Amino acid sequence: MELSQRRSNADYERGIEMAKATEQIQYETDDPNRIQDVGWTFKEVWRRTRGFVVTSVNLIIFFILWEIVTTYGNINSLFLPKASAMFQELWVGMTTRAPEGAVFSGSILDHFLHSFTNLMTGLAIAMAIGIPGGLLMGGNKYVESILSPYVWALASLPRIALVPLFILFLGFTTTMQVTIIVISAVFPIVINAWAGVKTTEKSLLAAAKVFGANRVQLYYKVVLPYTLPFIISGIQQGIGRGLIGVVIAELFGGSNGLGYLIQRSADTFNTAMTFAVLLLLIVMSLSLINFTRWLEAKVAPWRNVNHL
């Protein structure tokens, strides 16, 4: 029997009628209030603030214990200053600036600004090279096979080993310091962006292709959004590495920056200052890393963090 005969016109008309009847059926789930307001319960407030509260209390206890131990214990303040002395030094250092024309600045703020500007410049350059580089490596197998040996070689080399070479090339300059930061931060960014492109879920690419994506659309509608959180983790690792780069560059060669200040204050037995600078480095690093975490959660909420 022909198919067209098997499904006759009478069937068809009856079908339309019955189809109309099915449209009348209301599903139970038509209720629009399936999502309920939770409101501000104590539990909800605690859920949002517990991280901050626990950490704050933890830190306050830590610094109080530190103060007690250094005040009543028999500890040489050359090795471990009082917590209060450290905070005092930090406060004064961050609120004063060196006078015009001074040879050496004792102001932490001056050195901080120098280091911070270098770090940001270095990170920006590292991103400008690393993101397109990684995307290209992931997207084109020729670029990948040509570049990957160099990327792996340089990424596996302890970056500190390159410092003497850069000093030789560029002298004790800001350019040298920034170069070291770039070379430290660029590889995690390249490698993450590269991995992001390579691991883009096949079925997502298939879906985009089926619904009409051309090559360009495939990139900016699927590959890029998929890779974005990878790039952000790359930047996050880059910040950590870059900060190491900052301090190393300044410890090795330079006459300003936080690394230099650590060296100088330790040399002049101003341990409170050394500790103040270390604390500032920690705060700076954590702020930047938390910023990227926040950014990651903002742009990629589907990558849920599990609390096991």
- Measured from the CB atom, the residue of 34 and 43 that comes closer to other proteins is 34
Query: What is the nearest approach in angstroms of other proteins to the Cβ of residue 167?
Result: 44
The position carrying tokens 């009856």 is 14
What contacts 98, CB < 8 A, 6 or more positions away? 104, 105, 106, 107, 110
Instruction: Write the DSSP string, 173-207.
Output: SHHHHHHHHHHHHHHHHHHHHHHHHHT--HHHHHH
Sign of CA dihedral 82, 84, 85, 90: positive
Q: Rule CB under 8 A: say whether 307 interacts with other proteins.
A: no
Q: Which of 217, 270, 285, 292 binds other proteins (CB under 8 A)?
A: 217
CB 227 within 8 A of CB 135: yes
Total binding residues toward other proteins, as defined by CB under 8 A? 46
Q: How far apart are CA 123 and CA 110, in angstroms?
A: 20
Q: How far apart are CA 276 and CA 108, in angstroms?
A: 9
Q: Which of 24, 34, 37, 74 binds other proteins (CB under 8 A)?
A: 34
Percentages (nearest 5) of helix, strand, coil residues in the chain? 75, 0, 25
CB 277 within 8 A of CB 264: no
Q: Rule CB under 8 A: say whether 141 interacts with other proteins.
A: no
Q: Using CB under 8 A as the criterion, what x/- string covers residues 174-213 for binding other proteins?
A: ---------------------------x-xx-xxxxxxxx
Q: Which of 35, 103, 161, 305 binds other proteins (CB under 8 A)?
A: 35
Part in contact with other proteins (CB under 8 A); list of ranges 153-161, 250-258, 272-280, 293-301: 293-301
- Measured from the CB atom, the residue of 168 and 210 that comes closer to other proteins is 210
Binding site for other proteins (CB under 8 A): 1-4, 6-9, 11-12, 14-16, 18-19, 21-22, 25, 27, 29-30, 32, 34-35, 201, 203-204, 206-214, 217, 221-222, 225-226, 299-302, 304
